[in-house]
Amino acid sequence: MLGLAILLLSCSQLASQIFLPALPQIADSLALSTVQSQAMVTGYFICLGASQLVVGPLRDKFGDRPIFFAGQSTFIFGTLLCAVATTAELFTVGRVLQGIGAAAPLLISRTLLIATLSGPQLKMAMAQLALVSSGVAILAPLIGGTLAYVANWQFIAWLLAGYFSVTAVVGWWILPIGAYVPAMNSIRPKYLLRQYGQLLKEGQFLAIAAFKWLPTFLYLTTQLYFPFLLQQYFQLTEQQFGMVMMLPMSGLLIGAFISKCLHKTMNELALFAFFWPLLIVSAMCYSLLPFSLFNALLGYGFIMVVFGGYFAAYMQLLGVHYAAQAGSANALVGAVELLGFTLLAVGCNAYFIHSLNDLAWVTMLAAALLLFAWLKLLPQRIFFNDVFQHIARKVVGNRE
């Protein structure tokens, strides 16, 4: 099941990231402004977020296979529209359908492991999923930039359609038919709204979700700002941009690998605390170091390390505390993440972020909010986490 979860997650990742290096090329081809071309990216995330609110409960009630097939078919059709698009309107429709369809493979990739594994096996599988997911995120900009340079952005869409079609066949063959949550009897809007409302009132749910929402917000904000900043200021081609973006994106893999190693001795709260200072370091790279390509990528790289390090820990906490409603809980986190925080990222780029120093302030604010969320999750009886206690015992033992 881990291999299938990786395959499903990669679909959404590729659709969201592989076009990023080609944004200026898409803007020229379809006569779009910078803001309009950025909207092609954010529109995908907004549709993906909204559709998750429906797909999550449907998955809980009817199971993975029928929901996956319906979503993946929509995903493929939207990708084909992007491939043949010659106008901004047709490309927009394709991206909208991509966002709607991508909710199924994305959600199922997150809930499949929770439904089939438990205990140490689940924790290890989550860490491995985070590692491979990070690898895809690193390669996607390079692949997109290279293909846009040697061919064009339409060719990228054709390749994606083929990849998604293969995934549809594999998913249909492997995914079980039945539902994992037999008690999920109602999918009426009134019931779903009440269920989502109850989750949003829980401080624990909001605090856990913050460790997914805020790193994603920083990622989206930077990804919207960097293509035009770096390609215009440093005169990078699409291929060069894809190559240099591999450097900060490798932080995802580094963070996921460190998280996997530390999972043996640290709990999830300890991991959140371990990676948090890197956000402050990132802000310092933006604000205190001279503006250069290396310093900009370095600051972004630290954010990606945090993003990669938090992924498995966040999934583990959410899976443990909300296993009975995994589809709905993940859907709500994804919807708020991609609706609210995508719009916030767009707003920051449009009205606030005009330099790396502005990006530093945004990063500092996100770090402060994450610290507050961590304190909310920290049990009152625990002041030191598992690792700090272990170190303290070692020190006392040595003195004796």
Q: How far apart are CA 400 and CA 396, in angstroms?
A: 6
215-235: average pLDDT? 82
Is it the case that residue 240 has pLDDT exceeding 70? yes
The whole-number pLDDT of residue 397 equals: 56
Asked whether residue 397 is domain-assigned, the answer is no
Tokens of 191: 């019931």
Asked whether residue 225 is domain-assigned, the answer is yes
Tokens of 230: 């770096």
Band of the pLDDT at 71, cuts 50, 70, 90?
very high
Are the C-beta atoms of 251 and 301 separated by less than 8 Å?
A: yes
Is it the case that residue 99 has pLDDT exceeding 70? yes
The whole-number pLDDT of residue 142 equals: 76
Q: What is the pLDDT of residues 349-360, one digit of tens each?
A: 888 888 889 999
Is it the case that residue 183 has pLDDT exceeding 70? no
Are the C-beta atoms of 214 and 340 separated by less than 8 Å?
A: no
Q: How far is CA 190 from the centre of its chain?
A: 29
Q: What is the pLDDT of residues 252-295, one digit of tens each?
A: 889 988 988 887 788 889 999 999 999 999 999 999 999 888 99
293-318: average pLDDT? 89
Q: What is the CATH number of the domain that holds 166?
A: 1.20.1250.20
Collect all residues with Cβ–Cβ distance below 8 Å to 222 and sequence separation of at least 6: 300, 303, 359
Q: What percent of the chain has pLDDT over 70?
A: 90
Angle at 371 (CA atoms; ends 131, 310), nearest 5 degrees: 5
Block residue for tokens 């498995």: 312
Asked whether residue 398 is domain-assigned, the answer is no
Mean predicted lDDT score pLDDT of the chain: 82
Q: How many domains does the chain have?
A: 1
Asked whether residue 291 is domain-assigned, the answer is yes
Tokens of 6: 């990786």
Asked whether residue 390 is domain-assigned, the answer is no
Q: What percent of the chain has pLDDT over 90?
A: 25
Asked whether residue 226 is domain-assigned, the answer is yes
Q: How far apart are CA 85 and CA 31, in angstroms?
A: 13
Residue type, 23: L
Ramachandran angles phi, psi of 292, nearest 5°: -155, 165
